[in-house]
Amino acid sequence: MSHSRWLFTVASILMGLATATPAMASTVWRGDIETGNLSQFSTKESMGADRLQVVQSPVRQGRYALRAEVRQGDDPINASGNRNELVKFDGASEGTEFYYGWSTLWPSDYPMTPNWQVFMQWHHPGSGGAPPVRFVLGCSAADCGQPLPDTLFFIVDNKTQWMMAPVTRGVWHDFVLHIKWSANSSVGFVELWYDGKLVVPKRNVRTLFNSSDTNYLKMGLYRDEAVQPTAVLFHDGLVQATTLEEAMQPRASDSGEVANTGTPQQPGAPQGTTPSPGGVASPGADTGVGAPQESGIGTPADIAGNAQGSVVPESAGGQAQAGGCSSSAASATPWVSLMGLLVLGSLTRFRRRANRRA
């Protein structure tokens, strides 16, 4: 192969890579624990290292998952309820739009009690009140008219958008939330996929309490302080993305049944009547499900070393968040383009010299 043809081939490959990279880079941030530690998150609210652990089994994807444990009395921030949660300041501000995908597993011995148990939420920066977006397991008779211990609720702006029962324990369940953050109910919206099926078609709803708010993500377990049994659940594969395809990426792993975690089961926990599987509550009906009056953790800047920065999708050339993935694919795009241009420049100079010699 001639020198000029070789240069042209290399330049073509480099420019092709530069062109293809943005289409593949739709990940904003990952909290999939694949670092083998908790460094992908901004901070944590935990009673100790044994409450939020990185484990190698069970996993939904990759090598690692998060094991979250809560015991009665766990209150690391002196607020309402008992909790152990990871926190990520994910840039959920007015006008932003993201897909969040993750998987949760409740082991076969998980205590299903008729009390609220929040396993994923996006909290507002205020110092009190229920979070604007939350996923809840369980509901008391006082809140729902009957005890619903094994029912899932998706609640936005204190209104139930979706409910499903019974929850199958011992297997992984996949969630994908598509959300536009806005304090305007005609601008904000949500969509939800559960176990690969669209269960909440796109609907408009207020997702921020105030347009100046920046919500933040909390994953783990946060529950009514009246719940007595120790509970353990698992989270895996958390991703924040700009496309549905990235949030629903294949997750090949051992998704078989997990027998138990050795946590105690409260004898005779109420097992009340549950709604029909996949039932959907009226989105206009107010509900008190999982509406704790917590003090929150303050605004992101209140925590030393966790000042809020803008969250830029990798497709826009932003760096991966601290502790997350290594430099994004998109961040390499300018270098690939530059290399291609340099090679093309070399090819041009080579041809000019060849023409002069001729």
Encode pLDDT of 145-192 as tens digits. Answer: 999 999 999 999 999 999 999 999 999 999 999 999 999 999 999 999
Task: Quote the CA–CA distance of 276 and 353 in Å, as a whole number.
Answer: 79
pLDDT of the residue at 119: 99
**C-alpha to C-alpha distances, 292 to 78, 92, 145, 147, 309, nearest whole angstrom:** 13, 21, 18, 17, 28
pLDDT of the residue at 351: 57
Domain boundaries, the chain: 1-25+329-358, 28-312
How many C-beta atoms lie closer than 10 Å to residue 157's C-beta? 19
User: Which of the four CATH numbers 2.60.40.10, 1.20.190.20, 3.40.50.11900, 2.60.120.200 does domain 28-312 have?
Assistant: 2.60.120.200
Most confident of 15-29, 61-75, 262-276: 61-75
**C-alpha to C-alpha distances, 278 to 102, 154, 235, 315, nearest whole angstrom:** 19, 12, 22, 35
pTM beyond 0.85: no
Mean per-residue pLDDT of the chain: 77
Question: Which pLDDT band, with edges at 50, 70 and 90, does 127 fall under?
Answer: confident
Strand 52-55 to 43-45 pairing: unpaired
Task: Quote the CA–CA distance of 196 and 174 in Å, as a whole number.
Answer: 7
